[in-house]
Structure 1
């Protein structure tokens, strides 16, 4: 579905199975080389059950906050945020090899090796390994809509993963969601609005029709608009803990 923000290549369900492609078209020589040269220094090993990870300790220099992008596609959004927020640590989880290679090219171009870390796999073990209230912002952008009803449980935003996100997000942290599929938009709204830990920030239609200034457009979004699909941008705040 996307080549820019969140990959359409994989999804998970409550059985902890990972669905979708791990690899697409053969990579060009440079991207293959970058997987061997840059990725090893940025890669987060898949956490073992019960393992705990200090996100601040993943970065060579102190960072004022840590943000997480689940399914970063080709990495354009993540790299943009990293380049413009060099005092923030950006963690991206993406099982699609071609997407990881795309991000490595952008990391090299923007020279953001110090504040980008990558889990080239399922995001759920990482979420389970992160401490409570350790993430200041999370992104799930243009995920696979899994339009068939029998596949809806594979959608990342839902009853299985919202508690994970709620646990790791700081009080007042922002959860950003986006899609050009109205079925998925309704699904995400239904599940996130009714979750007791999240508050939808929208006060009018312009709040979900337009991105904020610190939310860059991607090529996928542009292609969706050209095809007549209207993206929806959703922002939620993690409510304060009792």
Structure 2
């Protein structure tokens, strides 16, 4: 069966207001301030972001900060031009090239990997592995920012909502909550790795076994929860909730 979708001109293409934005900075602006400004514009869907100064050069520290941000945090974004007082970024990746589902799958797999590696680093007091776990948190952030960007765009554009195969804007809000929780789990793995760097000796076998038991349960619950999402399996989701509640009650006794 063939169908025809008529899309108003203003919905077929984003308005110029949502395509390009400019940030004016000075040498007094901290790296954190610049990072926050760029990320906020990336998240709301701007395809071109220009960072420029009025009369001064962009400092070496600020320039390196922007380069690192683009490389480590912004999926599909490249520096397309650079002068002494201006850096222009373009987001080249669009929703059909990396679906929200695939981005969330990748984000979840990295999170599980961080969890496993943090546990292994604790067992062997492997500080090199702990450092790698902390670095992987940037990868999770990259996919998190990308998904949030796509969800915000989809809420405003029905055509894009259909392209990413979500039935209505409410689903976007649901995915936003899920992304937030996955990101938080990755943050916890990174925090564990940070604590490992401060340790001077391995935990005792008995202490590690208790941590290991809780850790494996948490990992299994997370993997089953993600599986229930992608398979749209209500029964599995309900089982995960019940098991977690029972486990918590058992541990409180």
- TM-score, reference length from structure 2: 0.25
* TM-score, normalisation: structure 1: 0.26
Q: Which has the larger radius of gyration?
A: 2
Name the structure where strand makes up a greater proportion of residues.
Answer: 1
